[in-house]
Amino acid sequence: MARRAQTGSGCLSRGLLLLWALLGSGLCHTDTEAEGFGQDNRTSPPVAMFNWTAQLVEETYTNITQRCWELFVDLMRNVTASELCEWKVISRPYSLLQACLEGWADHLRYGYPNALAEQYIFQSHHRYFHNCTLEHQVYFDPPEDVLLAMIIAPICLIPFLVTLVIWRSKDGKAQP
């Protein structure tokens, strides 16, 4: 029997720590030396600005989303086939995938939702949740001809009823 995912914050912390360890080390380093700023504590070294081109941002986001997907797949390994359609079980991995995709898009100013994030969401549904059915019946709008009849019937009935009331009140007989 497969091991179930932890429900406490330990799983989330480990997942985020793993993601940070895999991605953070390569994205946060700059190769600039701060010389001459040690004399006065009130001055700080200049911050190296990295010129992010659209291609570099897209490439970086593509690599990060692949890591988000790998983390999601790893978390889903702990879910048995009979539990795939239970929201209580899959909500944490699914929410982590969505948060990872959205968070990194915001961090990189890439824009969310985007085509790549949608691709991973669709892929998760196709791979894991394609056999899940709704327990409750889904209601759809009726066909247009039935809907039109349901709208027009009361509208046409109102003038008839008004005419009937006026005609009965003109009869002149006192109502008992």
What is the pLDDT at residue 96?
95
pTM attached to this predicted model: 0.49
| Mean pLDDT value across residues 5-14 | 47
What is the pLDDT at residue 131?
82
Residues recorded for the chain: 176
| 94-132: b (≥16 Cβ within 10 Å) or e | bebbbebbebbbeebebebeeebbeebeeebeeebeeee
In this structure, the number of other CB atoms found within 10 A of the CB of residue 60 comes to 18
Q: Where are the domains of the chain?
A: 52-132
Residue 93 · residue 72 · CB < 8 Å: yes
Name which residue leads in pLDDT, 167 or 26. Answer: 167
What is the pLDDT at residue 136?
62
- Answer yes or no: is pLDDT of 98 > 60: yes
pLDDT in tens, 44-86: 444 444 567 888 999 999 999 999 999 999 999 999 988 988 8
What is the pLDDT at residue 176?
55
- What average pLDDT is seen over the chain? 76
- Answer yes or no: is pLDDT of 172 > 70: no
Please provide the CATH number assigned to the domain covering 52-132: 1.10.150.510
What is the pLDDT at residue 70?
96
Which of the residue ranges 29-38, 74-83, 113-122, 151-160 would you say has the lowest mean pLDDT?
Answer: 29-38
| Mean pLDDT value across residues 9-18 | 47
Tokens of 133: 């059915």
pLDDT in tens, 126-163: 999 888 876 666 678 889 999 999 999 999 999 999 99
Place of tokens 């239970």: 86
